[in-house]
Structure 1
Amino acid sequence: MTQRTEPAGLKLRLAAARRLKAVLGGEHFSPLGPEDLADGRDRALANRLITTALRRHGQIDAMLAELLDKGLPPRSGSFEALLRLSLAQLVFLPDLGAHSALFLAVEATKRDGKARHLAGLMNAVLRRAQAGSARYGTLDEALLLPARFRRSWGEAYGEAALQGFAEALLAGAPLDLTLRDDGDDLAAVLDAEPLIADSVRLERRDRPVDALPFYAEGRWWVQDVAAALPARFMELPAGSAVLDLCAAPGGKTAQLLKAGYRVTALDNDARRLERLRANMDRLGYRPDIVEADAGNFAPATLFDGVLLDAPCSATGTFRRHPEVLWHRSAEDIAGRVQLQRTLLANALRCLAVGGTLIYCVCSLEPEEGEAQADWALHALPGLERLPIAPEALPGLDGAVTREGYVRTHPSMRLGRGNAGMDGFFVARFRRTG
Structure 2
Amino acid sequence: MAKTIAILGSTGSVGQNTLRVISENPEKFRVTALAAGTNADLMIEQWHEFRPSHISMATKEAADRVTSALPDTVNVVWGKEGLEEIARDPESEMVVSAVVGSLGLRATLAAIDAGKTIALANKETLVAGGELVMQRARERQVAILPVDSEHSAIFQCLNGEDRSSVSRIVLTASGGAFRHYNRQQLKDVTPEQALKHPNWAMGKKVTVDSATLMNKGLEVIEAHWLFDIDYRQIDVVIHYESIVHSMVEFKDKAVMAQLGTPDMRVPIQYALSYPDRLPLASEVLDLTKVGTLHFIEPDLERFPCLAMAYEAGKTGGTMPTVLNAANEVGVERFLNGSIPFLGIEQVIERVMDAHNPVPVRDLETVEEAEQWARKLAREMPVK
Higher helix share: 2
What TM-score results when the alignment is normalised by the length of structure 2? 0.30
What TM-score results when the alignment is normalised by the length of structure 1? 0.27
Structure number with higher relative contact order (C-alpha < 8 Å, ≥ 6 residues apart): 2
Please identify the structure whose Cα radius of gyration is greater: 1
